[in-house]
Amino acid sequence: MAASELRAELRYRDGETKKFNIKTENSLKSVISSVKKLSAEVSEVLTDLVEQEKSLTGRDNADSRVDGERETATVEIKSNSGGPPAKRRKASKP
């Protein structure tokens, strides 16, 4: 059997690309194994990118949490008047 190849390409924000090539045989078992290898390689590169982004922004998971909990936005709803809403009048039937 002739060898086949799995290919992937990662394009960075700056336009640079990284190509991934994994040799595989023409069997389902080999293709599945190659996909797992490709996934691991891509995952490693993406993990490095995330770490670089964190170091550039100066934030990490500890900074984005307050007392072990995620920060949440609160929405405050204010009514127009200080009292209860006005009562609706029932429409009279003709």
**Does 46 fall in a domain?**
yes
**Does 11 fall in a domain?**
yes
**Does 83 fall in a domain?**
no
pLDDT of residue 36: 93
Instruction: Give the tens place of pLDDT for each residue, 45-56.
Output: 999 989 988 888
Give, in order, the Cα–Cα distances in Å from 73 to each of 59, 69, 78, 79: 19, 13, 16, 20
Average pLDDT over residues 64-92: 53
- C-alpha–C-alpha distance, residues 13 and 19, integer Å: 15
Encoded amino acid at 24, one letter: T
Q: Give the count of domains, the chain.
A: 1
Give, in order, the Cα–Cα distances in Å from 57 to each of 33, 39, 40, 44, 62: 36, 27, 26, 20, 13
Domain range enclosing 33: 4-70
Band (29; pLDDT cuts 50, 70, 90): very high
